[in-house]
Structure 1
Amino acid sequence: MMKKILLCAAMVATLAGCTDATVGKVTSYGRPAHVICYSGGVEIFNGYSTGKVKSEKSSDGYFFYNRGTSSNVEVSGDCVINYQ
């Protein structure tokens, strides 16, 4: 029980200095997301991930497991990622 209290206190202390965006990114880890991507203002992808949407530093794209098609998806463009 004491370990859980100390862990919670450490977590609160760590997140207290973070912005809302940082806290949101940390707390959304592993959660499904609604992903919509556009190219030239036209919607080119609209779907849901089964978990966290990832990106690579050397790429402008995103990759995730698509809940609708049960397949891995890689997308690039102007994407809006909304965690549920």
Structure 2
Amino acid sequence: MKNQIVKFAILFSIVLGFISCTDASRARIGGFGDEFKVEMINCDGTVARTWISSGKVLSEQNSDGYFFKDKESGKLIEVTGRLIITKQ
């Protein structure tokens, strides 16, 4: 009986945590394996460069940079600056 109560409490905590997430948080968690369009923006607002990632775009901890694998070249790309990241 105690084992079932513990399992229920764990399951309830997980469900409660997921429900309390915002839509954006859930989308961010569920973005693994999806493609993203990464656009680097010039100072004048024009697009300087565009990539399509082969998976999730991740951010460095304690940094303003992002990194991802480029779908076309298969290379690791690391970028920083004015960016627009859109799920495809």
| Offset of residue 10 of structure 1 | 6.6
TM-score, scaled to structure 1 = 0.76
The reply on whether 1:27 has 2:37 as its aligned counterpart is no
The gaps in structure 1 that reach 5 residues or longer are: 1-5
Amino acid in the other structure paired with 1:39: N
Deviations 1:11-67 (A, max 9, x none): 543311111111111111232211111120231220100011111122211111101
SS at match of 1:23: helix
Q: Which residue of 1 aligns with 2:49?
A: 45
Q: Which residue of 2 aligns with 1:82?
A: 86
Higher strand content, 1 or 2: 1
Instruction: Kindly report the root-mean-square deviation, in angstroms, between the aligned alpha carbons of the 2 structures.
Output: 2.2
Q: Give the % identical residues.
A: 32
Amino acid in the other structure paired with 2:68: F
TM-score, scaled to structure 2 = 0.73
The reply on whether 1:58 has 2:62 as its aligned counterpart is yes
The gaps in structure 2 that reach 5 residues or longer are: 1-7
The reply on whether 1:15 has 2:18 as its aligned counterpart is yes
